[in-house]
Amino acid sequence: MIQNELKPEGNAPVSLSIKILALALPFMAAITLAHAQTDVVERLNVPGPIQFDGKDFALAWTSAPTEGYFKQEYVPAGQVVETFTDMFLVEVATRPLRPIDAAGGQIQSLQARKQTDPVVNYDILHNENSGEVLLDFVLSDLKADPIFVEWNAYRYVEQPDGEGVVLYGISRRGYGDDGAKALLESLKTIRSPTILALSSAELPPVSVKD
């Protein structure tokens, strides 16, 4: 059995009103959204590649699952979204929503997932001056074949016009008992530098194509 080795530093419950929770629902779906679409339709004027942490991430999958919500995933050469070990994400919700509300919606989803996923853990950082939020979390699927553990760091940024939020994220996965344990062990050394790199990175601006 994989044990959770990410030390809790946050995990404070986030209370959201029904209205705010409804607005945040698109980002909450990010954990479980299936990759059913095969056609890649670039909608955010971020064709890639995106450079992060010494790697080039090429656009591999896109989706517009609900009105005003757009999702694009990028992986290094040789990887595919279904079995990735490294992924960069760009997501946009074009509705009145603050970064802290979007992150709070994700936390609500993680709290619910804790009932069935013993690995779930998270921490949240909020820059009150800029309004940006950085949420990192770990989760697993111990029923998958092979099992996997996934660590994500999400940076939530308000759109310049104030209408919506952009999520920039990095995701790492380890598969099988050995891969999952190796990923959890590696978080002791990669977690802080990766979060710092994401928080300070000059990431591509996003504009939704008409």
3-class DSSP string for 76-108: CCCCCHHHCCEEEEEEEECCCCCHHHHHHHHHH
Q: Which residues pair with 155 in a beta bridge?
A: 134, 168
pTM value is 0.84
Q: Which of 5-9, 45-49, 180-184 has the lowest mean pLDDT?
A: 5-9
CA distances from 41 to 17, 59, 70, 73 (A): 34, 10, 11, 11
Residue 156 is assigned to a structural domain of this protein = yes
Residue at 209 is within a domain: no
Q: Is 90 exposed, middle or buried (0-12, 13-18, 19+ CB in 10 A)?
A: buried
Answer whether residue 11 is part of any domain.
no
d(CA 131, CA 146): 39
Tell me the pLDDT of the chain averaged across its residues.
84
> Is a pLDDT exceeding 70 seen at residue 25?
no
Is the pLDDT score of 30 beyond 50?
no
CA torsion, ordered 98, 45, 33, 181, to nearest 10 deg: -90
Phi and psi angles of residue 176, each rounded to the nearest 5 degrees, phi first:
75, 170
Q: How confident is the model at residue 159 (pLDDT cuts 50, 70, 90)?
A: confident
C-beta neighbour count of 42 within 10 angstroms: 12
Share of the chain above pLDDT 70, in %: 81
Q: Is residue 7 part of a domain?
A: no
pLDDT of residue 39: 77
The answer to whether residue 82 is domain-embedded is yes
Q: 54: which 2 tokens? A: 């010494």
Q: What are phi and psi of 27, to 5 degrees?
A: -70, -30
Is 173 a member of any domain? no
Predicted local distance difference test score (pLDDT) of residue 196:
95
Q: How far apart are alpha carbons 33 and 36 in whole angstroms?
A: 9
In a domain, residue 10? The reply is no
Token pair, residue 110, equals 């993680």
- Tell whether the model's pLDDT for residue 1 goes beyond 50: no
Number of domains in the chain: 1
Burial (CB < 10 A; 0-12, 13-18, 19+), residue 5, is: middle
Is 150 among the domain residues?
Answer: yes
Residues 6+ apart with CB under 8 A from 179: 146, 148, 149, 173
* pLDDT, tens digit (0-9, with 9 covering 90-100), for 33-84: 455 555 788 999 999 999 999 999 999 999 988 888 999 999 999 999 999 9
Residue 29: HSE in the Cβ half-sphere, 13 Å Cα cutoff = 18
pLDDT category at 134 given cuts 50, 70, 90 is: very high
Domain that residue 152 falls in = 18-163+179-200
